Amino acid sequence: MAYLFTSESVSEGHPDKVADQISDALIDNFLAFDAESKVACETLVTTGQVILAGEVKSDTYLDVQTIARDVIKKIGYTKSEYMFEANSCGVLSAIHEQSADINQGVDRASKEEQGAGDQGMMFGYATNETENYMPLALDIAHALLIELANIRRENSEITYLRPDAKSQVTLEYSDDNKPQRIDAIVISTQHDDFADEATMLAKIKSDLISILIPRIKAKYPQYAHFFNDNITYHINPTGKFVIGGPHGDTGLTGRKIIVDTYGGKGAHGGGAFSGKDPSKVDRSAAYATRHIAKNLVAAGLCDEVLVQVSYAIGVAKPTSINVNTYGTSKVNMTDGEVSKIVEGIFDMRPYFIEQRLKLRNPIYSETAAYGHMGRKSETVTKTFKLPNGESKTVTVELFTWEKLDFVDQVKAAFGI
């Protein structure tokens, strides 16, 4: 029997994502000037206020106020009527030094034996239902909001958009787990005030269906055939959405972990990513398991896979590695046997994850909105500045965990 599956996304102007982007901007600035920085930074945003808290061990000093304001400005909170504005909001820092008790479990005389920054389990997932090996519903949900933000910045076809927005996509699947069509789309977007609410709702719905959806179909032709005349659209279903962003809801780092990963497909260990340096396996091992999963599917080992790894705090070697191919494996092996071979291909000790994926670079700001997985791996140049005027320009590779650089090794190991 056919079934429905739904995933959601949130925009860069969503309050939780504002918090994530500030936390990851701090990470990038610390790593740019001290690659060995240990950072766990949380951000809270609310009406007119940004509060920074967390633990840091670093040889550099940052102007955290300027960094936070620059992020807020880039997102688009630049008008006083938003009640949260880059130049006027208060920024309070309660960042302090990292606990020596925690640090002793991470740092080792031999870097190769660097311990995990915490206990816990992390998951990586991949499926061949999209070109980037991501779940289709989540990929479309992200695409809708990325394009909506593009329209907002262009300020030509639609001129009333504000930064906060959410999307949700429901897909119909066939009995053999193949996506057939989009059944429903939900979009809630913050907007300028209108004199007449009924006119406002009608215009927003008409604009999004007639302007946003055609742009999505044109920009993502591989998804165009999933759109149809029977989609149920819920556009701003609560009605007026003028009060939004941190003024409408308090935002916190790490509250959108399913949006950040696989939209409800696969599994999640519960740990957030943003604001954490790569010694925290919540982040680095989640990236590493995605890297494994994507390369396994791309190599043709299976159609869908979930990879789990777990750690004990202060211990380098994982306590377990598990591979679940959901019965889609193309090799004559049990999933347990597959797991053993995978363990031999990918060294999952924290230091080796950091080295393999080049994680001690300032590469995290780009991850903090529209998902950490399924993104394009590319090389970019960034410039960072210290309060004393010193600047540093670095060239870094983004989303290294999305590279298909282990496909040949996987094929050789499994005789594919």
Residues making up the annotated binding site for ATP are 14, 164-166, 240-241, 249, 255-256, 272, 276
String of DSSP letters for 55-97: EEE-S----HHHHHHHHHHHHT---GGGT--TTTSEEEEEEEE
The dihedral through the CA atoms of 406, 409, 413, 415 has a sign that is positive
Q: Find residue 182's DSSP bridge partners.
A: 171
Annotated binding site: 14, 16, 42, 55, 98, 164-166, 240-241, 249, 255-256, 272, 276, 280
Cα–Cα distances in angstroms (integers) from residue 272 to residues 61, 123, 203, 285, 368, in the given order:
25, 12, 37, 12, 11
The span from the CA of 15 to the CA of 50, in Å, is 11
Instruction: Quote the DSSP letter at residue 131.
Output: T
Q: What is the dihedral of CA 233, 235, 238, 243, to 10 degrees?
A: 160
Q: Are 306 and 266 in contact (CB under 8 A)?
A: yes
E strand or H helix that includes residue 272: none
In 3D space, the residue among 40, 35, 27, 22 whose CA is nearest the CA of residue 97 turns out to be: 40
CA distances from 212 to 181, 332, 365 (A): 18, 46, 26
117 vs 40: CA distance, rounded Å? 11
Q: Which residues are annotated as a binding site for L-methionine?
A: 55, 98, 249, 280
In the annotated binding site for K(+), the residues are 42
Binding-site sequence positions for Mg(2+):
16
- Alpha-carbon distance of 288 to 219, in angstroms, equals 29
Query: 98: which 2 tokens?
Result: 């990292």
Give the Cα separation of 368 and 17 in Å (integer): 7
Strands, sheet with 232-235, edge to edge from the N-terminal-most edge strand: 3-10, 161-173, 179-191, 232-235
Q: Is 411 helix (H, G, I), strand (E, B) or coil?
A: helix
Q: Are 177 and 134 in contact (CB under 8 A)?
A: no
Distance between CA atoms of residues 165 and 163, nearest Å: 7
